[in-house]
Amino acid sequence: MITIEHLKKTFKKNKVEAVKDVSLEIRDGEIFALLGPNGAGKTTTMRMLSTLLEPTAGTILYDGKPLEQESESIRRRIAFLTNEIRLDGQFTPDELADYYGGLYEMDEETIHRNREQLFNYFGISEFRDRRYETFSTGMKQKTSLAICLLHNPDTVIFDEPTNGLDILTQHLIEDCLLRMKAEGKCIILSTHILDLVARLADRVGIIVDGRSVFCGTVPELPESQGVKTVEEAFIKLYKENHEEKAIIGKRGKE
Amino acid sequence: MSGLGKVFHHEMRKILKEKAILFGFLILPIITLFITVGISLLQPKTEQSKATSYVMYFYGIDMEKTNIGSIDDKQIWIEKVEEAPEQFIHSEKFHNCDVLVDFSDIEHVVIYYHESDSISNYMKMSAESFVRDSFDQVYKTKHAHLLFRTVEVEDITLKDNNNRMIAMLLPYMLILPLTANIANFAGDTVAGDKQRGTFYQVMLSPVPPISLIMGKILSVSLISLFSSGMYIGIDVLGSKICKAMDTKDVFGFADVTVTMNQVLLILLYAVLLCYLFSNLGVLISLFCKDAAQAQTAQLPVTLGCTLASMMSMFRLGTSPSSHYLIPVYNICLIFQDLLNGRAKMENMLMVALSLLIMAVLVMVITLLSYKSEKVRA
């Protein structure tokens, strides 16, 4: 379980407050969807969760253990996949699996076993001797996913995993998410596709202008806003909490 | 430092798979071989052994061309020279066995000769004797106030050794491609990885920062060390080819000798220099978004190093000890000293120490920078 309390991130260089106050709770065995408009602070939050960035304030607890104190052992338990993260193009999936498995100090037998399972599942076994750079976008994403999951993480963070993929690959990734959920893994999913959230997610967290404005189950989201759909609830929450709108609202009242 | 070996091995494999990068490291040194040997081949060789006679040239005194005897079936002549000594001794006319007596200043007579064999020694001694006799007979009687001082003997061979062409060129030839290649490769291995998104994948693994950074630095260092070795090896090979082909030793390849201690120190320099440049390249690349930006950001370092090595080309004679503390320039000075056979152990140790301190300093800065937001964001 991941507990995020009053998380804040201000970039030193440009003094931008990317995350102002985010508090969320993400449980094991669930798909947690992180929603928010572009620039809301979702990616920065996920980068902090994956140990890439250090928070300016607030705490992140993995099973009650603070992230900053246990970052190395936590990195062994998590996987983070975004569209920005790629693999070395000169290598084949087999070579990449050996390398990344080695970095996680996995023994050869475990690497081999996990690799075979994942490669077969994602349908990349027949391309295992081809260089990664020669793959299509979908094949690259599937290979990245297989390599990411090689060390059998119990927390998986996905930033828009189905962006730019064909319907078959999207379906495969969705199936993969459900399988991992069934295995009891904690899955954090950031996406703009609200239909995907409605279909897959158990709980949802919404961030607007760097602040978490909702954290609850998917059915609770429209209920809490007195609307029918997730989309309507998201738009309502955004309008209520967006700072520019809030300022205009205040001026209007004056 | 768990994972260091894995990162290093992976980075090395990446380099070996990249043909464009290998070009700079391997092919470029081989091209320089053709340039150095080619220049030597183009130079006409002075055929000293085929001299038909031995000549004692005189500058600054009027005399007729006169035969003064013979040795080994070859005639010895004395002859007047109009050309200034500095130019004449480098001309084709001045053979290995000849001597030139500069009489332009009677109080400061200089004899130029090549200390190559017994003939030239004989000629030099004859010239010295001739100078003393001439002074006693002609000048002392006519100009009583003149004080005859010791005849200065200038060994041209020794003088040449003090400023070998290869000593001027080699540091420049080493530093320029080395810095340019490291800028290229360090830029690709760090900033290029950031651009491609592969850097973050490794950062997310439990590998400690020091292993990741060191793995990258060591791979760049090793390949650049190999490249430096190629340059030095190429120069040795060049000297052998020139010797075998009996060409004129334009670069002063011949007779470069170094002791075992000096060889070990050269090896230490090479390791430290490659490590230092690689570390600097990685440090700069950490703050860049892509390989092109990293290469541009490293331009001042490359230009600074090129300038320092170029400045060393215009250095004549020895330098004060303080000059051996100037980074990069000191490496060039030491290489020159070694090739000219005048390297002092204290200066060599000073250079090694300064390199070591800089390498450690840059390493600490690199590790601190790894945690920087600009690197990780």
A71-110 pLDDT per residue, tens:
888 888 899 988 777 788 889 999 999 999 999 989 999 9
Under the banding of pLDDT at 50, 70 and 90, the label for residue A254 is very low
pLDDT for position A34: 93
- Which of A70, A86, A144, A159 to mutate: most B Cβ within 10 Å? A86
Rounded mean pLDDT of A49-53?
89
DSSP letter for each residue of B232-300: HHHHHHHHHHHHHTT---TT--TT----HHHHHHHHHHHHHHHHHHHHHHHHHHHT-SSHHHHHHHTHH
- Chain B residues whose CB is inside 8 A of the A133 CB are none
Residue B82 shares a structural domain with residue B223: no
Q: Which domain holds residue A211?
A: 2-253
Residue B168 shares a structural domain with residue B150: no
Q: Do B203 and A103 touch (CB under 8 A)?
A: no
Which of the listed residues B161, B185, B207 is the one where a domain comes to its end? B161
CATH value at residue A155: 3.40.50.300
Structural domains in chain A (count): 1
d(CA A200, CA A158): 13
Share of chain B above pLDDT 70, in %: 83
- CA distance from start to end of chain B: 24
Rounded mean pLDDT of B137-143?
71
pLDDT for position B365: 92
Rounded mean pLDDT of A201-210?
93
Which of the listed residues B161, B192, B209 is the one where a domain comes to its end? B161
pLDDT for position A243: 64
Rounded mean pLDDT of A142-146?
89
Give the closest-approach CA distance of B290 to chain A in angstroms.
13
- Whether the predicted pLDDT of B159 surpasses 70: no
Q: Can you say how many angstroms the Cα of residue B351 is from the centroid of all Cα atoms in its chain?
A: 16
Residue B197 shares a structural domain with residue B265: yes
The pTM assigned to this predicted structure is 0.73
Residue B112 shares a structural domain with residue B147: yes
- Chain B residues whose CB is inside 8 A of the A51 CB are 204
Residue B260 shares a structural domain with residue B307: yes
- Chain A residues whose CB is inside 8 A of the B373 CB are 11-13, 53-54
Residue B53 shares a structural domain with residue B36: no
- Residue A254's CB is within 10 A of a number of other CB atoms, namely 5
Residue B66 shares a structural domain with residue B206: no
Residue B239 shares a structural domain with residue B362: yes
pLDDT for position A249: 47
Under the banding of pLDDT at 50, 70 and 90, the label for residue A253 is very low
Which amino acid is residue B287, in one-letter code?
F
Residues of A at the B interface (Cβ-Cβ below 8 Å)?
Answer: 11-13, 47, 50-54, 72-73, 75-76, 78-80, 84-91, 95, 99-100, 102-105, 147
Under the banding of pLDDT at 50, 70 and 90, the label for residue A16 is confident
Residue B128 shares a structural domain with residue B73: yes
Q: Which domain holds residue B139?
A: 48-161
Q: Do A75 and B204 touch (CB under 8 A)?
A: yes
> In whole numbers, what is the pLDDT of chain B averaged over residues?
79
Higher pLDDT, B52 or A29: A29
Give the closest-approach CA distance of A90 to chain B in angstroms.
7
Contact in structure between A180 and A187 (CB atoms under 8 Å):
yes
Residue of B nearest to A144 (CA): B201
β-bridge pairing B74-81 and A211-217: unpaired
pLDDT for position B144: 67
Kindly state the tokens that stand for A227: 């609307």
pLDDT for position B376: 72
Under the banding of pLDDT at 50, 70 and 90, the label for residue B117 is low
- Whether the predicted pLDDT of A248 surpasses 50: no
Residue B14 shares a structural domain with residue B124: no
Greatest CA separation found in chain B? Answer: 95
Burial of B323: CB neighbours in 10 Å, binned 0-12, 13-18, 19+: middle
- Whether the predicted pLDDT of B113 surpasses 90: no
H or E, element range at A211:
strand A211-217
Kindly state the tokens that stand for A3: 């507990």
ipTM value for the complex: 0.81
Under the banding of pLDDT at 50, 70 and 90, the label for residue A247 is very low
d(CA B127, CA B132): 9
Under the banding of pLDDT at 50, 70 and 90, the label for residue B93 is confident
Higher pLDDT, B264 or B23: B264
Residue B209 shares a structural domain with residue B67: no
Structural domains in chain B (count): 2
Which of the listed residues B135, B161, B187 is the one where a domain comes to its end? B161
Under the banding of pLDDT at 50, 70 and 90, the label for residue A252 is very low
For B177-203, how does the pLDDT look when each residue is reduced to its tens digit (9 = 90+)? 788 888 888 888 888 888 888 888 888
Rounded mean pLDDT of B112-124?
77
Kindly state the tokens that stand for A251: 């001026």
Residue B312 shares a structural domain with residue B244: yes
